Structure 1
Amino acid sequence: MARVNDGETKTKILETLEEKDEVLEAAIDTWKYVLGYVEMAAVKCAIELGISEAMENHGRPITLSELSSSLACSPSSLHRIMRLLVHQKLFKETITPEDHTKYYSLTPISRLLKNHGDHSMAALVLLETSPVMLAPWHALSGRVRDEGRPAFEAAHGESLWEYNAKHPRHTKLFNDAMACNARIVLPVVLKGCAEVFEGVGTVVDVGGGNGSTIRTMIKAFPWIKGINFDLPHVVEVAPESEGVEHVGGSMLEFVPKADAAFVMNVLHDWGDEECITILRLCREAVPKDKGKVIMVDAVIKEEKHEIDDEKEEKLKGLRLMIDMVMMAHTTTGKERTQQEWEYVVAKAGFTKCIVKPIHAIPSIIIAYP
């Protein structure tokens, strides 16, 4: 039998082994995508069970037995869910040195998973994990092929907006999800453009949903009178609030008159032509001499030199993923670069545009007539 002692042969064997190691590492990384839905499903499970609420109501770190008793669920199944969520750092686990008892407690993330509260993001998780919003992802490749049929329409036979108009329960979940996101981001937005609202008497919130955004704005700037503007079936169920007038209509047809128009997380739902139409109507709705249109939407940074820290790199990843959400859930929507924003703003007839980053997923974009 020939002996393997030749230097060249050994080199080839080592190269083959290194190649197999690379394949194994690539396979492990691929499993992250294969199982990517698991974390999402476990978080949804935690929200539906009310784990965060049970922990908060307990008032101190809680054992598995106490938690399962509070939730009236299987200890063994709950343990497996908690084991994953602790590993993902959604909950914290501590073990006493005396008797090795495990205790669970909340983290900043799991505090956002409560079904109620000013900082709850539960509705957003429940919306994006609902069968209605998950189905279009299976049609994403069809959308990519030659700008094929929109994924949401392929899944449901109509656009998201048409679907919402016919399904009040889904509309409520959608509006609750948009509102919970706004509650967290809006204080940062208002702080970032507080001077913009000086001297502004009226603000129309274009696509304002249930009115939570304009209500928060009026609390911050009590001299402002607000107009919550959205589709009729949306505003007709919006709660009444002092200082807020609800107006129903289509932003593609008209925008109510005001000193300033506020458009938050709306324009990314639309293609350039619709965006230009909405912005033109906003420009016509505000005074030419001192009016302004304040947009809050993502600005994608494509150049490497535009990203200067780890947080900004994380934010870019989130903006790119939300761009995929736009592709799956809207007909023509997309996230835009600064150049693309400047294009639609100029086409809508504005003379000046300022982009203000706020170290959040969206930026503030201010356009002047």
Structure 2
Amino acid sequence: MYSFNTYTILLQVDSLLEGTAMAVLGKDIFDLYRPHTHTKIQFGDKGYWVEWGTDCLPYGSILTEILNCSITDYCAKLSAVEQAVAACDPEQLSERLDALVRAFMKLPLYRLYILEPSAIEPALVWKYIEAGRHSDLIAEMLKDPDAFLVKYIRARDDILYIQERYGWFLESLFEGQPFEKKKGQKKIPLAKQLTDHFLEALVSGVSLGEDNQIDAPQVNIQYAVLEPEGCQPELVEKMYFDRLLDFVYVELMRGMQKGFVPKRCANCGRWFLQYPGATYAYCDGPAPGQEDKTCREIGATASFQDKVRNNEIWKLHQRAYKKYFARTRKGTMSKPEFEKWARDAEQLRDRALKSYEISRTLEEKNRILDKLKADLNCV
């Protein structure tokens, strides 16, 4: 972990290098002393980079983390600081401020790049707290406590708002739609789902909010060539965000453009990130009460059992499968012979399923079942 001085120098060098590149292209040079909660994000094709981080995060990852996180402890620490400010208690304020700053560093997004408390409150930490000048600290904060606490209050309010409003938005998006695409079922594009649920008005003009004061962020975009280690150079869009709420709005919309979207697990209820092309209903985290299995494993088993239980073709196929698999256990059938039989049986099953689904009479259905029974040698 860097010391405060080293950390500051690195940031200044990084800013100078960026400033030089931007100056060449006729762009404005950013202030070297911009606040460290003024977050730089570089958006690429499949994900984005936060500040100087080398890891490319998939779109929707921070939103998913926010939807799952609990900020009860953070809210309590913020309330404690507010009480100490109101009481003008220097000893309590110093201790509680330190606890609040450390809790802030653990919040989604900020935890990725804020390495030391001094990066958030450098003037207060070094001028007052480290020097033991608690009375001066109180005097400084009491000049305008609301301005001092604004970033901490916004972080709390933004996370609570995102959890409530974005959670509602995403659940509304998938309402009435198959949560996991079945075989042969056409996947509905996310944009079509937005219009089907009359949600498109929330995408533009407001940040998913009912209050017209909560506007979508007005962001300035710059471009840069990023050269991740071990990867090909990539042209990225560089933006700076002052609020977590503004960043999450852009992250979600960019993610949905590319097929990344958070979903709620049908088993444990936690949110997980669905990647482009996937249609999972369950997360891959430990299942509640069955830590040796994931929700996805349990969901797949339950889904399969439900499929077998409600379809005569599947019942017949599974009866034949168990019969032939038992032969491998007894040694009367080799493993390669069983694997070949299983592949052939799957093709017979799938052809029968198609015919069975379009058959109109009970006689036709029984004829298909009898033929499959004979083909699978299932008696």
Higher RCO (CA-CA < 8 Å; seq separation 6+):
2
User: Which has more radius of gyration?
Assistant: 2
TM-score w.r.t. the length of structure 2 is: 0.24
- Bigger share in strand: 1
TM-score w.r.t. the length of structure 1 is: 0.24
